[in-house]
Structure 1
Amino acid sequence: MLLLKQLSPIQKAALAAFCCVWLLSAALTANAQTSTPSATGIVLPQASDFYQVTQLEGEQNFGDFVVGPGKFDLTIAPGESETIEILITNRTGIEKEFSITTEDITGSNDTETATVLLGEDEGPYTLRDFIEVAADRFIIGPGQRVTVPITVRLPADAEPGGRYGSLLVQTASANLEEVANTPSAAVVSRIAVLFFVKTPGELNQEGKLIDFVTVPDQRFFNSGPITFGLLYENTGTVHTNPAGEITINNMFGQNVGYVEALPWFSLPQSLRLREVSWDRTSLLGYYTAEARVYRGYGKEIDTLTTSFWVIDWRLLASVTAALLALFIIIRFFTKRFTFVRREP
């Protein structure tokens, strides 16, 4: 204190300016230790600033990242909300920038595509604006697993029915040196978490099994296993989860096989093909398969049948060749030798 009194006003001002500069430099240094520049040069926070982070043991360098669970099926009343959690694990071996976005999804009449991401378009059963997270851009270090709470909040005037959306977790490089050494545009990887939300009330649930075939759809096979296709059509306004079973009988009516079709989802106004396999290889003859599928609501069960032949042409050719050889041998002996019956 005595030393300060001996300083001139100019010296005191210089000392105050030096202290301000020192404090600002310390603050910037501390911030740099918890933040990392993104690929665009923007300083991003660490995931630990918002979420619970766990450092996994051992080397986690698999060149990828993992997000789970992949699907949530929720029932939320109007004006209510529900919070769930997903896990994001960085297994790339380096520090990465992650971002979270939301998109609506819809079903499809293409049996090869179960869901369609709609990008910036709003879906007929929109959910994207009702999915909330605390932070949508952050850094995850190598071998770190982040627990991200996600809240789905419906408006008070939400009508009964289904709403369908997705939360997309994508990553880009968070290492500026890596970006600088990459001559081409960065490749962005993303993983979608699906959200199926049902609002209670008077629901329009409509759907049924419309086709049951072998895959590929043919009548003759050389051998097993045999794959069956269950084609389900949803004509309602809310998703369903059909499930069923397949029984197989041989040409004598004996039951020789059973396959369970575990529940699968079908979005509104869409077709969904479910394939199941009968894992039996030694087959021969004519078979009839019957599918019994629960529609996913009420007590309705749809029943369809299909039939097919299993003929191993190689085995058939071998048997035919053996019979032909036996016939030739018998003919040879009957022509070369004369059999005389001995009189008593």
Structure 2
Amino acid sequence: MNTNSDNGKLVLVTGGSGFIAVHCIIQLLNAGYRVRATLRSLDKAANVHAMLAEGGANAGDKLSFIKADLSADHNWAEAVKGCEYVLHVASPTPKLNFKHEDEMIVPAREGVLRVLRAARDGGVKRVVLTSAIGAIVYGHPDQTAPYDESYWSNTEKAPAYQKSKTLAEKAAWEFIQREGGALELSAVNPTGVMGPVLGAEYSHSINVIKNLLTGKMAGSPKINSFFVDVRDVASLHLLAMTSPIANGERYIATAGESIWMVEVAKILKDNLGEAGAKVSVKQLPNTLLRVAALTDPMVKSMLPLLSKHMNTTSAKAIDTLGWKPRSTKEAILATAESLIRLNLL
């Protein structure tokens, strides 16, 4: 990607130790930007440098860290100072055993607004918000036509985590409209994020691959899923950051058509040789999942997805921004190969 005209400009990446964030930092550094990353604890800085090294990037003096937490105002003004752009990648971790959905909704919404206020007041040109496909595809009647960026999840029917992502993104757009001033906003809505793991921190989507490879999954639930390579999620963030036409737009990041979970298992089984020996390619009946859901909150969270089509399209990003994602198969295999290489199974 040619961003030579922007070389040397400073970009803030929030949640700098996260899976997507580290890949964004790698691509920003490779494009010549200076990067400041927020961390909840500066103790994580060494981990970030280790992940960057694993990803083939040498930060040199172009990367700095600042302690900032989405739940508090402290340091956000300092974090955005001098920044041309902000990639707001940080997000509260999904909770399974929450007592009330507000435990996820309030931190997600307030965190986004905290970053946007600081960015506006600090003279930042544009914020790219890492939203989620969860803000688009949940709570709708089943459909085979692909979801695009015009859809919003139905918060009356969406699970708590997806509801939190939806309300947080909506709050961001409302903020820009009402009090954003000159601040610009773009949003990226990734599907299940796969791709090369660089260390022990990675997206929860990757546990699906890990559980298949270790044999923890005795078979695949009848769930239709969508995936995207983290390297392509990062490249879409950079396109959304600098493209004039991306201001005010949201972009779905998906590798291609959705596939059933059993197809994921078959990709692993057919391409990894001995490393795929424990992968089961059995299709689990829905009744088995419903019984398991009585005692397992993770399984319970899957029930609304059983047998439901989840097709999405990235035509907007591909056609208007020139984005070129890797295939679903490549994203899945890159995930597996990195887990094996780093002994993370």
Q: Which has the higher helix share?
A: 2
TM-score, with structure 1 as normaliser: 0.25
Higher relative contact order (CA 8 A, sep 6+): 2
Higher-Rg structure is 1
Question: Which has the larger strand fraction?
Answer: 1
Which TM-score applies when normalising by structure 2?
0.25
